[in-house]
Amino acid sequence: MEHHDHETQSPDKKTSIKSTKKFWRSPQERENDPEWQKLVEREFQASPFFEGDVKESWNRRDFMKLMGASLALGSTACIRRPVQTIIPYVNRPVEVTPGIANYYASTWSEGTEGFGLLVKTREGRPIKLEGNPDHPVNAGALSARAQAQVLNLYDPERLDGPRKYNPEDPNPFRHEQHPSWAQADQEILPKLKEGGVALLTNSISSPSTKAVIGDFATVTGATHYVWDPIGYDDVASAQKAAYGTAVVPRYVLDRAKIIVSIDADFLGSFLSPTEFNRQYAAVRKPGKDMAKIVTFESVYTLTGANSDARVRIKPSQQLDVVMGLVHQISVLSGKGGGAPAYANAAQKLNIEPGLFNEIAKDLWENRGRGVVIAGGLTTRTEQGEAVHAAVNFLNSLLGNDGVSVDHGTAAFKFINGSHANLATLIEKMQAGQVKTLIIHGVNPVYQAAGGSGFEEALKKVALVLYTGDRADETGKFAKFILPDHHHLENWGDSEIQENVFSIQQPTIRPLYNTRAFQDTLLVWTAGYKGKGEKPLTWFNYLKDNWKKNRFHGAGGFDHAWVQLLKLGVLDLSSQAREKVSTPRNFSGAALKVPSPRASEGLELVLFESVLQGDGRSANNSWLQEMPDPVTKVSWGNPLLVSPGLAKKMELTNGSIVQVTVNKQSVKTPIFIQPGLHDEVVALAVGYGRTAAGEVGNGVGLNGFELASFNKGKPVFSGIQVQIENTGQFETVASMQEHTNIEGRQIVVEASLADYLKKPDAGIEKTEVFSIWNDHKYTGYRWGMAIDLNSCTGCSACIVACQAENNIPVVGKRYVIQGREMHWLRVDRYYSGDVNSPRGTFQPLPCQHCENAPCETVCPVAATNHSSEGLNDMVYNRCVGTRYCSNNCPYKVRRFNWFNYANKIPEPKNLQLNPDVTVRTRGVMEKCTFCIQRITTAKNDAKDRGDEVKDGEIKTACQQTCPTNAIMFGNINDAKSEVRQWQGDPRAFALLEELNVRPSVRYLTKVKNAKVEGTEGGHV
């Protein structure tokens, strides 16, 4: 077998692995950079920091002395175990049996994406979130952000009750007071009566909350301003201009055979990514009917990575793309003269005219069965309005309106926030017309774009009330912070898409003395009226609202209410979402397209990252440690530059540059991201917080400040920028070069054409023979299959695994050293055009090998093969030699270098899953195929008296996957789905040539495009 000999390796020696690779994880790997070679050789890296950096270092001699003394003392100490107490309930609630989890249906929406939840609780506290399979929007899946929300509940930095500050004092916290709710209300009510009350919130999906706000506004005369930091008002206003009503449409991707995205990251962050992921998977099954996805984008996103054709553009070229397509399609349709000014769009964009015409032709031939989408921060350029108008025109011209652009049956009607509203509010604040401002659900001091003037205007408001859970950037300016419950502690409801209602119920008694925002408003409404009437509690108000408005039918309200709490969802749309609606008339006046202009100079794009969003969960350590699905960078948002630009300016990963926008300069490290245009630099928003908490403070750079508010027409993209290499350096915590696997065939891509000819196209089969006898499995044999074609890289599985298995967070410093603890990782491989590569994502759990190389080398037999095909990890036997990890070819084993569990602050320990051991220092850990779930299911099956049914066990990663890319089950069962997947001609085993016999199979990725060298490609 060809062998890559490390010892004699030198950069100029010819190696057996080709230097131009077919799949590569970073530009350095592609060019066989010697630094990269060094990283590949060493699994356990030395600290990149010098001695002096380490503050808590032990002097070696002292350490040895202390250890020696402790050993001596310990051996003479008492050997009785410490006394433990058992504290039973006084009155055990009937539904709680210690040791058995209870699931409650609930709902959650962050800004604009909403989910139906099933909250897993143990002994009265939520420990894991899962999707509600009955909710039509997310259908049982959760995104990475949603999975991480359970940790926010236990954030130790949440305020434990109302606070009162003196914002005029330069140190507003100096005389911090802890009033009771009654005291706070007593002080606030007279101020409300003085009038000039304004309420600023995000788009509210809860109809009952909207009713409460409505009552409050009617009684107090307050004005309600709705603003979303990352909103879709540009989409809504373009819809209004074109069709008459401002609505954010629901894009139904599974009705499309061709999807063209113009800077809309629908798989990553745009609008409703979890739903889009599911629809994507539905239309991407390899076959003649496979949909085609084309992306024109200025950032490298998940959508671009998973597209069949991806073109890198500058934000100022978005209009050229759309108008170019408009022109081509007008020509093809024979209707009208098109837009001759944009006839040469392809040349201008540096695309082969052939490709561009092909896309136009595909769109035209699939009219009524395609969709063009644009949206997100990346389309908020100065010409954004024209771009959206043109996209609407295209969709109408192609007959997509009403089919894949759903405007009426289940659109996102609740999204009604706009920057114009915020601009109006700021104006009123500046003019002194706002005496009391209540801020809920948004953090405008941090999230409003640069130059909005919100902070200055805020100082002119006499009374600022904030319902956030801590004194964050906006909280610092508040006189009173009136912390709202966490959504897991509160009642509520939701109408994420029209006529699809879901209920939110508390799953834990509020941990602190917080009060529901709705209760606060209800108390103030009643108090304002001054008639001494007792306000309804929010719970009763909610029930009444449902009684009045939803449950008209027979059967009695109480029964219906209980059913609603059980199921969590009430779909009153009568399957409307399955129907198409009539297309609307496009108002020609909307299409006022400026003439094409040249795009000169470097442009900055601010984009919404998959994990952080608008930055509200910056203090969530899981989200910070998660590698960004595309860049694989954690704990920060470096400025992304293209390899070409980096070479030109002599930048490497971590070079600090000075970024100047509008005479404002900031410094930030860079990261090289293939796929960017050479005149584009990109920065994610949601970082750079200053008052989020210990975890989130100071991580990254605040991108919101680089945007310009422009009096309510913000510009987030296509911003003129200059960058300068400062010559300084800051290590970027990038995970993409950790855990490098070397081998012949790691990911396999095939073109659709090749797949149709031969289903196993692209797979190089290796003949292996074994000197070992096979294990015999008479009962269950657990195995897994992962469909690379469905996996979009969203990384929800990683957070789900972290939540389920008590995986610790190590922090930036140790991530840099390669010590991240994620049991499951998603490797991202680029392929194709170096300037605009495709991306293939490969989730890598422990492969539970039959001939596991880790099992044979453990000196203490801490890892053994079970009788059901699993590779067991026994933490109590492990002594930490790390030989197993050394031997693992997939590098899926993680070592506990420190006692991470000791660092878990209360009450975060309440989130820990009691079914999974919390590991201490010095033991190895790895993916267990969720053995705790397997054991529970086997026990349930034994109690029933039969076998575990197929699909009864879902590993945490499988359960949350929006595209159902992961399939787990019993491969000894001939009828199980995992057996079908493993038997699929597209299935291959990773690193098959090593004869480790993994229990996991991967299914090749099929691209609806030409893929060079499909046959027998080497990595």
Partner 1 sequence: MPGKTAKILLALVVLVLIGGVASMATGPIGYNDGYEPKQPIPFSHRLHAGDNKIPCLYCHVAAEKSIHATVPALNICMNCHKVVKTDSPWIKKLTAAYENNTVIEWKKVHMLPDFVRFNHRRHVRREVACQTCHGPVETMDVIHQEAPLSMGWCVNCHRKPENHAPINCSTCHY
92 is a site residue for partner 1 (CB under 8 A):
yes
Q: Does 585 bind partner 1 (CB under 8 A)?
A: no
Q: Between 36 and 75, how does the x/- string for binding to partner 1 read (CB under 8 A)?
A: ----------------------------------------
Write out the binding residues for partner 1, residues 865-894 only, by CB under 8 A: 866-868, 870, 872-877
> Is 86 one of the binding residues for partner 1 (CB under 8 A)?
yes
Nearer to partner 1, 664 or 939 (CB): 939
Cβ closest to partner 1, residue 205 vs residue 970: 970
83 binds partner 1 (CB under 8 A): yes
Residue 939 binds to partner 1 (criterion: CB under 8 A): yes
- Work out whether 76 is an interface residue with partner 1 (CB under 8 A): no
Q: Point out which span in 367-375, 595-603, 888-896, 924-932 binds partner 1 (CB under 8 A).
A: 924-932
Task: Give, rounded to a whole angstrom, the gap between the first and last alpha carbons of the chain.
Answer: 15
Among 17, 54, 100, 182, binds partner 1 (CB under 8 A): 100
Which residues, including other chains, have CB under 8 Å from residue 661's CB and lie 6 or more apart? 604, 706, 719, 720, 721
Task: Write out the DSSP string of 137-195.
Answer: TTTT---HHHHTHHHHHT-TTS-SS-EE--TTSSSTTTT-B---HHHHHHHHHHHHHTS
CA distance 804 to 781: 22
Per-residue H/E/C for 631-680: CCECCCCCEEECHHHHHHCCCCCCEEEEEEECCEEEEEEEEECCCCCCCE
- Residue 939 CB, shortest distance to partner 1, in Å, is 6
Closer residue to partner 1 in complex, CB, 87/771: 87
Retrieve residue 134's tokens: 């009955």
Q: Does residue 121 touch partner 1 according to CB under 8 A?
A: no
Closest CA to 230 of 438, 387, 378: 378
Q: Which is nearer to partner 1, 831 or 911 (CB)?
A: 911
Picking from 844, 761, 841, the residue whose alpha carbon sits closest to that of residue 286 is 761
Q: Is 972 in the site for partner 1 (CB under 8 A)?
A: no
Q: How far apart are CA 505 and CA 491, in angstroms?
A: 5
Question: What is the layout of strands, in order, in the sheet containing 23-24?
Answer: 23-24, 825-831, 838-844
Burial tier of 932 (Cβ tally within 10 Å: 0-12, 13-18, 19+): middle
863 bridge partner residues: 873
Per-residue CA distances from 892 to 679, 804, 927, 969, 984 (Å): 38, 17, 8, 20, 25
CA distance 795 to 812: 19
Nearest approach, Cβ of residue 68 and partner 1 (Å):
20
Closest CB 919 distance from partner 1, rounded Å:
10
Alpha helices in 750-831, H assignment, sequence order: 752-757, 796-804, 812-816
Backbone angles phi, psi at 121, to 5 degrees: -120, 145
Q: Which stretch binds partner 1 (CB under 8 A): 26-34, 90-98, 400-408, 643-651?
A: 90-98
Among 61, 81, 531, 534, binds partner 1 (CB under 8 A): 81
Under the criterion CB under 8 A, does residue 935 sit at the interface with partner 1?
yes
Q: Is 931 one of the binding residues for partner 1 (CB under 8 A)?
A: yes
> What's the rounded Cα separation, in Å, for the pair 283 and 287?
10
> 803 is written with which tokens?
């939540």
| 881: its two tokens | 């030699």
| Secondary structure of residue 488 in the 3-state scheme | helix
The answer to the question of residue 857 lying near partner 1 (CB under 8 A) is: no
Q: What is the sign, positive or negative, of the torsion defined by CA atoms of 826, 831, 835, 836? A: negative
Interaction of residue 127 with partner 1, rule CB under 8 A: no
Shortest Å, Cβ 914 to partner 1: 9
Residue with tokens 């003019």, as numbered in its chain: 431
Q: How many CB atoms lie within 10 A of CB 38?
A: 12
Q: Quick one: 463 or 924, whose CB is closer to partner 1? A: 924
Stretch binding partner 1 (CB under 8 A), from 94-102, 226-234, 592-600, 834-842: 94-102
595 near partner 1, judged by CB under 8 A: no
Span of 250-258, 536-544, 741-749, 938-946 interacting with partner 1 by CB under 8 A: 938-946
Phi-psi region of 532 (alpha: psi -120 to 50; beta: other; left: phi over 0): left
The tokens 């040469």 sit on which residue? 344
Q: How far is CA 604 from CA 49, 299, 640, 711, 915, in A?
A: 32, 10, 10, 20, 47
Find the part of the chain contacting partner 1 (CB under 8 A) among 246-254, 408-416, 861-869, 967-975. 861-869
Which among 8-16, 336-344, 863-871, 884-892 is the span making contact with partner 1, rule CB under 8 A? 863-871
Least distance to partner 1, CB of residue 957, Å: 17
Q: How far apart are CA 904 and CA 889, in angstroms?
A: 32
Which residue's CB is nearer to partner 1, number 232 or number 929?
929
Minimal distance, residue 132 CB to partner 1, in Å: 25
Asked if residue 640 binds partner 1 (CB under 8 A), the reply is: no
Q: What is the DSSP string of 181-194?
A: HHHHHHHHHHHHHT
Binding status of residue 567 toward partner 1 by CB under 8 A = no
Backbone region of residue 819 per phi and psi (left: phi > 0; alpha: psi in -120 to 50; beta: other values): alpha
Task: Name which of 122 and 819 has its Cβ closer to partner 1.
Answer: 122
For the bound state, the minimum distance from the C-beta of residue 935 to partner 1, rounded and expressed in Å, comes to 7
Instruction: Give 105's strand partners.
Output: 118
Please report how close the Cβ of residue 875 comes to partner 1 at its closest, in angstroms: 6
Crossing angle for the helix pair 538-549 and 517-529, to the nearest 10 degrees: 90
Contact yes or no for 256/404 (Cβ under 8 A):
yes
The stretch near partner 1 (CB under 8 A) out of 96-104, 250-258, 284-292, 298-306 is 96-104
Is the CB of 149 or the CB of 863 nearer to partner 1?
863
CB of 870 to partner 1, least distance (A): 6
Q: In this complex, which beta carbon is closest to partner 1, that of residue 749 or of residue 925?
A: 925
**How many chain residues touch partner 1 (CB under 8 A)?**
37
Give the span between the Cα atoms of 946 and 938, in whole angstroms. 9
> According to CB under 8 A, which residues from 814 to 843 bind partner 1?
none
* CB of 828 or CB of 919, closer to partner 1: 919
Give yes or no for residue 87 binding partner 1 (CB under 8 A).
yes
d(CA 894, CA 902): 18
The only residue of 3, 80, 174, 776 in contact with partner 1, by rule CB under 8 A: 80
CB of 928 to partner 1, least distance (A): 6
Can residue 806 be called a binding residue for partner 1 (CB under 8 A)?
no
Task: In angstroms, give the least distance from the CB of 93 to partner 1.
Answer: 9
Binding site for partner 1 (CB under 8 A): 79-81, 83-92, 97-100, 864, 866-868, 870, 872-877, 916-917, 928, 931-932, 935, 939, 942-943
